[in-house]
Amino acid sequence: MVEYDPFSEEVMRDPGPIYKRMRDEAPAYYCEKWDCWALSRFEDIWKASADTKHFTATRGTTSAHLLTKVQPVTPMLNLMDPPEHSKLRSSMRAYFAAPEVAPLEPKIREMARQSLAEARDAGRIDVIGDYSAPIAVTVACTVNGLPVEDGPYLNDLVWRFFARQEGVEGMTEDGLAAFGEMDAYFRKLIAERRKSPGPDSVLQTLLSCEVAGEKLDDAAISSHLAMLIIGGSETFPKTFADIVRRLGEHPEQRAECVADESLLPDAFTEGLRYDMPTQFLCRSVTKEVEFHGKTLTPGQPILFLYPSGNHDEREFDDPERFDIHRKPARILSFGYGAHSCIGINVARLEAKVCLEELLRAAPEYALDLPGVERLVTDFVQGYAKFPVTF
């Protein structure tokens, strides 16, 4: 019988084979240790993601909230249910819309070109630390109305937040401390902006927004900003490194992208499907519901195993094949339903520019695999460093 624990060494090292067995043998898997369930098939995750009748996000959406319970639930956008969630999200949606994001392209391109130019003499670049991560946090600060010069500090806090320590299941003490430092930073900034308003931005909108007839207090605004800066600065660099890796492993597909840059959006989508960093997000059962003959009861956490769904043979033809021409009708990498990723347009723009500039500067880059540092983690997998040579 297949055994799954999100904190097991086997799952954190290479979850793919276990996900495959779960899809085939136990698509609704009960993990006794944590009294939780895990869905591994695409269709189950897709439908459950939009099901607010049987599931709630208000009790937490991560293992730190619902399994190890080391992180308290705070008033974040992704920890709210409709209709409050819908109202707050609608107040921020405009800042992440494609027309609003498009003017950021020249700045992103300038940063990308500068990073590549600085790396040219060395003949190598870490596509995370030297390239995509500084761009991602700068864009996240710009969109959310945070001082761009504080981007490196915030980026360090975010990476500390996600760091894992051998022998510790889930978040570390330093990760929790980093989140506390982030909260202190945001509260100070919020106090300053209440006295002296800044330019039109997400932060400025949160200061005037009302939920359930009441304005948001500093704790709530800080929590929302933390979610946005974490989501905006940490996931894209990991995703980008994965795509750089896959294109490097498939030089014929990379050559197609070099010859025709219009293929890059599809390459990004396939990269997201093939190597999704976020291993799961959670909900809590609010009303008894059944999956594959198993009954889930109120109060139990449920894990949506997105990377497993993205490799489900029931949804994708030959899912273990990386193919930039796949054009899937749907993937799980940006979620689905009310909690789908609000920053999808930002991520697509960053990917477009960063891939274009890298392939223009180094169309036949080589992967420096001995220099790669992979993160071994339960929640968001990927790389800490991923160097390529020109």
The 10s digit of each residue's pLDDT in 329-347 is 999 999 999 899 999 999 9
Q: How many separate domains does the chain show?
A: 1
User: Is 2 contained in some domain?
Assistant: no
User: Is 179 contained in some domain?
Assistant: yes
Sequence-distant (≥ 6) Cβ neighbours of residue 323 within 8 angstroms:
253, 270
User: Is 169 contained in some domain?
Assistant: yes
DSSP one-letter code for 316: S
Tokens of 281: 């997000």
Segments forming the whole domain that contains residue 83: 9-389
d(CA 241, CA 13): 17
Tokens 């937490």 found at: 60
DSSP one-letter code for 338: G
User: Is 152 contained in some domain?
Assistant: yes
Q: Inform me whether the pLDDT recorded for 370 exceeds 90.
A: yes
Q: In what order do the strands lie in the sheet with 28-31?
A: 28-31, 36-39, 301-304, 281-285, 55-56
Helix, strand or coil, per DSSP, at residue 80:
coil
Q: What is the CATH number of the domain that holds 265?
A: 1.10.630.10
Closest CA to 126 of 375, 372, 382: 372
DSSP one-letter code for 132: I
Pairing of strands 373-375, 382-385: antiparallel
Q: How far is CA 243 from CA 18, 117, 306, 378, in A?
A: 23, 21, 17, 21
d(CA 82, CA 387): 43
Query: What's residue 22's pLDDT?
Result: 98
Average pLDDT across the chain, whole number: 94
- Kindly report the number of other CB atoms within 10 A of residue 183's CB atom: 18
Predicted confidence band at 383 (pLDDT cuts at 50, 70, 90)? very high
What pTM did the predictor assign?
Answer: 0.93
Cα-based torsion angle of the residue sequence 103, 106, 112, 115 in order, rounded to the nearest 10 degrees: -120
Q: Inform me whether the pLDDT recorded for 170 exceeds 90.
A: no
Burial class, 123, CB count within 10 angstroms (exposed 0-12 / middle 13-18 / buried 19+): exposed
Predicted confidence band at 140 (pLDDT cuts at 50, 70, 90)? very high
User: Is 1 contained in some domain?
Assistant: no
Tokens of 363: 């169309």
Polymer length in residues for the chain: 390
Query: What's residue 386's pLDDT?
Result: 97
For the chain, percent of residues with pLDDT exceeding 70: 100
Q: Is the peptide bond before 72 cis (omega within 30 degrees of 0)?
A: no
Burial 341-368 (b: 16+ CB within 10 A, else e): bbbebbbbbbbbbbbbbbbebbeebebb
User: Is 138 contained in some domain?
Assistant: yes
Helix, strand or coil, per DSSP, at residue 265:
helix
Query: What's residue 161's pLDDT?
Result: 87
Query: What's residue 293's pLDDT?
Result: 97
d(CA 349, CA 34): 39
